[in-house]
Every structure is written in structure tokens, then in C-alpha cells.
Amino acid sequence: MSPQLCEFHLPLTPEELLKSGGVNQYVVQEVLPIRNLPSQLRAFQAAFRAQGPLAMLEHFDTVYSILYHFRSIDPGLKEDTLEFLIKVVSRHSQELPAILNDATLSVSDRSAHLNALKMNCYALIRLLESFETCQTSLMDLDVGGKGKKARAKAAHGFDWEEERQPVLQLLTQMLQLDIRHLWNHSIIEEEFVSLVTGCCYRLLENPTISHQKNRATREAITHLLGVALTRYNHLLSATVKIIQMLQHFEHLAPVLVAAVSLWATDYGMKSIVGEIVREIGQKCPQELSRDSSGAKGFAAFLTELAERVPAILMSSMCILVDHLDGENYMMRNAVLAAMAEMVLQVLNGDQLEEAARDTRDQFLDTMQAHSHDVNSFVRSRVLQLFTRIVQQKVISLLHDKDMVPLYG
């Protein structure tokens, strides 16, 4: 059967594309030998010049074979494939608006463009992930840090870290189109959203993503996920993934705080703060007393999030109070620090309404109570927090004489 008449199902693993699936389901016919790949890529390029992005329907096996042999092929072929796939996806994103607005578009043409969209994005994203995996392996080989960049450049033929941002921006551009109309009933399949967002999360797992030189990549990831959140119902999936990453990747707390803060403000997705905090609040304090890595990630995230968006976080503080009675001192410190930020940044005026004054007083009373915490780190932290409050003259609003010993 012609590939143009088949339906391309996004696989969970690359191997699934080699197996015979359901009726009319696309299957890779042959994994091409390495020696044939340069000529087959040239044939794909020629077909693209003649047919445009739909050429992928006849040449997907070539790209699949390049991905299959990725670690063994010449760096020049890898770079040529990346540049070409960027060109293919870019052209498709330019042509799709007119196609999506064509009231006379036939069912077969719509299906062809849907298959091409899925194939093109799948190929580009898997190539991105292959480069990233290879780059991470090279970095791990040189623990000392010397020659890392040179070794990576020699392996790829170019500096991969500089190539990630354009790919992510291109995928963002594609997601901003009304591509859902290519699917039946305009309901985009969850697997497609997972494909695109999944590559973002995999990039975030790289410890070097937090480095200053990768700021542009971080911002591109944040904006891509922001579009997924606002246009493709990615809220719950993002919440689950963020919780998982905070538990397992120590470097990600500040990176995720920056992303969540941007989504809550620039993208109008305040609800994601509540969802994440609800998940953290529901974590059993006894469980976190055993999971020091998870507690450390959550604590760092909450502390920095309170500094960034205290007003948004404040409505969810009631969910976190159970952690003040938990055994993990890092979580207690984080909740107390969040309360202090709210006193400093939100609940700090003379014209506060009664409800806001009550909230402020409750926060301060809670902080005061923990000045006698069993843990010395918590006691010290409370003293630091009250010192900040005094220095910023918020303490002048208080009349509780019991607090005087804390701040002199």
C-alpha cells in the first residue's frame, strides 16, 4: 500500500514502527544500510524540492534509518539531516495556515498533511533527542571539563548547544497554528502533544541546562511548554512531570521556578501554581522525611517561587501548612520563608483590609512559634526572616510584645 494511503501512528518506542500494526497503519519497510544513507537523503531532498513537505510520506524510511544508525554515521550526514529537517518543518509551518483555511480541502489531502505533520515533527524531535543524548554522553566522558566543547563539536561537526534553540522555536511556531483542524473533530491526539513536550522535559534533565550559556534554550523550552499549556490542555501532565523532576533533578528548582512564574504571569496560567502546590501539599510529611532529595527539590522550588510570585502562591498556602508539622526541616523552612515573602511583598501596607491583616498576623504568629523549633536550622532561619522584616520596616505594623526578643 502507498505510504500516502496509510495512517502514521506516533510510536511509544522507535521499534514499534518496524512492526506490522493495524489496518492501514504505516510501517517502516526497510532499515537502510549506512552506505546508502547519503544518496537516499539526496533523493529525499530532490523530492522535497518538487513536492514540498509531503515528500516525507515517501521518504520517512530514510530518516528513520538515519536515526537508527545515528551513533555510527558521519557527522556531516547528521548535520545535513538536521538542516534539511528544519527546512522541511519550516516550510510546512509556512504552508499550513492557507491549507487549514481551505474550505475545499479534501479528506485525503487533510489526512496527507496530518501524516506529514506527525512524521516531520517526529523525525525532527527524535533527531534533536539523538543529538542531545550523544552530547550528554560526550560530556560525561570528560569529567574535568577541559575539551568538552571541542570534543562535542568534533563529534557533531558543529556546536549542538547553539542549534537547539532554533529547533524549539520552530516547534513553538508550529504549535501556535490551528493544527488541531487536521485531526478528526479537531481533537488533537495526546500522543502528539506528548511528543513535543517530552523533548522539552528531556532537555531540562541535562544538568548543563541551568548554565548561563543555555539561557536561550531554557527560554525557548519555557515558551514552547507555555503554548502547550494554553492551547493543548497540558496543565495536568505538566504538573505531574514537574513534581517528578523536582524529586529527581537537583539542578531544576530555579529553572522550573522561572518557567512556572512566566506561565503564571505572561501566559495567564495562574492555575498551574495551585496545581503544583496542591501536589506538594498532598505529599505525606513522613514520606518526605525519608526522601531527602525530593524534599530538597520541593523546598528550593517553594522558596524561590514565593520570591517570584508571592501573591499567586498565597492563595495556596493553606495546602502547605501540614508540612510545618512534618519531620523534614527543609520543608518547614520553605513554608516559613514563603510566609515571610508574602508579609514583605504582599501584606505590607498600612491600608490592608481586615482579612489581609488577619492573614499577615497568622503568618507572623506561625513564624514566631517556630522560633522555638526543635531544629536549630529552622530557629536560625526564622531569626533571619524576622531580621529581613525588621530591616524593611514591616515590623512597625506589629504590636505583639512577645516578638520583641526575636528582633531586639
Per-residue pLDDT tens digits for 318-335: 999 999 999 999 999 999
Distance CA 10, CA 16 (A): 9
97 within some domain: yes
Distance CA 83, CA 43 (A): 15
DSSP string, 341-382: HHHHHTS--TT--HHHHHHHHHHHHHHHHGGG-SSHHHHHHH
Q: pLDDT exceeding 90 applies to what percent of the chain?
A: 77
Distance CA 316, CA 277 (A): 7
pLDDT for 86? 98
Distance CA 150, CA 74 (A): 17
pLDDT for 37? 98
Element (H, E) at 101: none
282 within some domain: no
Q: What integer best gives the mean pLDDT of the chain? A: 90
pLDDT for 142? 57
24 within some domain: yes
Residue 25 β-bridge partners: 7
300 within some domain: no
pLDDT for 19? 87
Phi, psi of 25 (to 5 degrees): -85, 135
**Which of 233, 309, 223, 236 has the alpha carbon at shortest distance from 267?**
223
Q: pLDDT exceeding 70 applies to what percent of the chain?
A: 90
280 within some domain: no
**pTM as predicted:** 0.90
Domain range holding 83?
Answer: 1-188
Number of folded domains in the chain? 1
